[in-house]
Amino acid sequence: MDEQAEERAQQLEQLCRLMTVAQDLARQLADHSHGRAYDKVRDLNELLHLARLQLNAISADGLVCAPERRRTARPSPVLGPDQPV
């Protein structure tokens, strides 16, 4: 791999790590948001997801960012275990 390609790969990797941190923080924000604020945070999470997909599309090697870690649904203490969260 030539120097320019190596630098590009490093930049994509750094962007991927940044996106991972941003998505984790946005998920935490969603957990603590309600009402209209939650809708805006959900929009932010969708944009971050699209940005992560775009990073993978930019890479000539294919997958740069590992697939997102999806949280498993936890039963709601209010709704009960059989209700959607």
Give me the pLDDT at residue 83, please: 44
Overall pTM > 0.75: no
Which one, of 62, 60, 61, 64, lies nearest residue 18 by Cα? 64
> What sign does the dihedral 40-42-48-50 (CA atoms) show?
negative
Q: What is the largest CA-CA distance in the chain?
A: 57
Both tokens assigned to 53:
């997909």
Give me the pLDDT at residue 84, please: 44
- Domain ranges within the chain, ordered by starting residue: 3-58
- Bridge partners (DSSP) of residue 27 are none
Give me the pLDDT at residue 55, please: 87
Q: What is the pLDDT along the chain (85 residues), one digit of tens a residue?
A: 699 888 988 999 899 899 999 999 999 999 999 888 999 999 999 999 999 888 888 886 666 676 666 554 444 445 445 544 3
Give me the pLDDT at residue 57, please: 86
Which one, of 31, 36, 4, 22, lies nearest residue 65 by Cα? 22
